[in-house]
Structure 1
Amino acid sequence: MRSLRGRLLVAASVVLVAFLGLTGLTLDSAFRDSALTAVQSRLQAQVYMLLGAANLDAFNRLTLPQALPEARFSMPDSGLYADVMDSEGNLIWRSPSLLGMALPFFPAVRNAGETQSAALPTSDGTPLFVRAFTVNWESSPNEYHLYTFRVAETQKAFLDQLWMFRQGLWGWLVAATCVLLAVQGLILRWSLKPLRRAATEIKEIETGKRGEMGSGYPEELLPLTDNLNALLREGRTHIERYRNALADLAHSLKTPLAVLRSTLENNASPDEIRQTLVDQLERMNRTVDYQLQRAAAAGQITLTAPLPVTPIARKIQDSLAKVYANRALHLRSEVAPGTVFYGDEGDLLEILGNLADNACKWCRRQVVMRAYSANRDGRTELILEVEDDGPGIPPEQAPQLLGRGQRADPTVAGHGIGLAVVRDLVEEVYYGRLAIERGTLGGALVKARLRFQASSSA
């Protein structure tokens, strides 16, 4: 069964029907036991009535009057019968209602005060409830006789009562089951309405009618819809980044191409053409490298495990130690325990690696990489710091180095493309901030703040 609503409806219906069925059987059994107890109590009361009416005649024989308090004993085939037997099993009295009939064989009770009950049929097959009670009757001083009083009643009244109860019980249970199934179906339809809405919105996203999932979903579906929206936004962001990178690349290549065309059209000397060609090719190469690195940024990744920063920092430290082995630099990383990065490993390598490489180029002997987390405005921030003991960057030059300016050709800055790529990753991809300060070692301190969604830090 592929329908979630169908599964829930079938499962709940089976449980409901089983529960009501067991309830009906339990109530039926309880009512039957109660009715049987009532029958036995009624028969026992009739026995006590016969005991009260019995007496001894002049010959010390047990006799009962012709007119008994219960009129049915005097009416043939009334459905209520009685007889009395002595200790030998001889019948000494029978009610007029037994005219032409006899109570079925019933073992005599030998001990005084004992009772015995059974459901037995008569000779013509009529089912009866029979109850026997034995008494020790004193006929004269120190002389006792055992008598067994038997009372029987047809089962018709009991069966009719049981049938009426069962008819009402199962009728109401079936009606209640139908009503509850209908209500259950409505409840399931109402409960699953957010899922149907989500399916509809997903289809609308596929057809381009909407950009992301709506709001107002139950809290059980919020992680799904929020993360799906985050994935959609990430996809749009990546596409937009590629488009911008291609547009910037095309715009950046226009200038060197125009210079080359102008040089060729002005009949420049071969040396001038050669030099112009080398310069512009180098310029185009740097532009392509920059735009490719900028477009390749993955950004924050939803529905993925956070990336520990410590192994990445050690990898960068080991790599730079080999690159600058001839300078015997003192490199160290200080990463706070539990610091993680919510994004692609390549982005973290690009940011921290470029900053650390730039610091190694300008330092004298020491470079320190630091990483720690902070929480600000409900979002998790990862702070990356790279400090060196070089000459540093004058405060008046820091804004110029980090300023956006015109994006027609963003690679013309004298510090190469590394810092520009880091700036774009930090500010455009991770919505953070890049700052240059004076460090405690005397050189430059470059601090990058990367911001992540609150849901990622949960």
Structure 2
Amino acid sequence: MRVRPIGPRSLTARVLLLATAWSAVALVVISVVILQLYRQSSDRAFTDLLRAQLYNVINSITIGEDNKLSGNPQLGDLRFSQPETGWYWIIEPLGTFAATPLSSSSLGTSNITVPTILAVPFNNRYERFYPTRDAFGNHVLVAETEVVLDGEGRAARFRVSGNLDVVEDDVRSFSRSLYIALAVFGVGSLIVNGLAILYGLQPMDAARRALERVRRNEAERLEGEFPREIMPLANDINALIESNRRIVERARMQVGNLAHSLKTPIAVLLNESRMLDKVQSDLVQTQAETMQAQVQTYLNRARIAAQRESLLARTDVEPVMERLMRVIRRLNPEREFHLSLLPPGQFLAMEQQDIEETVGNLLENAARFCKTAVWVTVTPYAHPATEGDASRRHWVEILVEDDGPGLDPDQISEAMKRGKRLDESKPGAGLGLSIVKEIASEYQGQFELGRAAQGGLQARLILPGLSKDAA
């Protein structure tokens, strides 16, 4: 059984898909991490800015001779003087210190909501920071502390607020720049990775082309320079091809030796049968011819078993069929023979002599029983995957049809039996159809008989083919 790949069947596509997926995930994670780090840095910088502004305000405020708060903080930021900006400073006396509070002109007559100390306690520096909203809906961050202003213990609470939209705008601007930079970097990385992967996998493509040359009989082994990682595989494939070639040659040699060794005894039997009386002579001669045909059949089966699934089993259908049609036309000049190959350029994963034997037997039967004409059609066939046959994906259908009397279903089952002849007046040993069936079965194909559209017999062969890439 062939192992079915998971995902894309192309190794290049798989590597590119994995590299793209990993790059996308990595860029997303990197962008999230960088944005988070930048936000933390921006928040920390914003907090430090508010702390600095807070102590500037503290340093600018004193208690005057009239026991009132006095001072005019100059923070160097016009937003503290512009209304409703979210940038404010506020000074409130504490305890028995009954002075008038001071605030920036940007706050006007409004105030800021302040959480309780229990809700937001002071830190070890006696500072606290908390987000809130001002009366104008601005989201602000407040820095607060309490300071004793003189030796009499009079104290005040100081607050400085800043608009958090500044941080958000800064983070958004940075994120846009980051996304653009990462997008450019990601596209560039994918292009570079793709080129590197294609370059790195070129030896695999070279190995595939070398294997195709072996399939097309243009080379006897994988040839070329391969990297260290692929060289063991190429060497193993070359060893497999060489081993397969030796097995096939050995099988052919054994077939030839066996045929040669049986040829003389069978010829002697046939010669000796002529010296007997007619009844015994006919009996011995018939059995000897049958034995000769059966021996040849099983020798063919042994050869097919040795050759099947070989990388070298490849035959172009068109020249073989045209040669068979020329021979059958020459032997039967009074009949018409029509050949149709759609599309041309089809290949069978079979030995040429096996194709000639199967189709030749069918042509001989059709020519023997037809009235006027025989039609041969060769087309691709979508064969459903069956148990034990999932490795084949390309099939070819060969139809041999005639306009003769045809066969009934009962006669078809009888005709498929070895040595069975329905018409004893015609020459033959009754082995032709059974040989065709056995050869098709050895190649994991199919052979069926039925009624042709022209009224005669239809012989249907389903044989293993080769795709255009493999051919």
Q: Looking at both structures, which has the greater relative contact order when contacts are Cα pairs under 8 Å and sequence separation is at least 6? A: 2
Query: TM-score, normalized by length of structure 2?
Result: 0.49
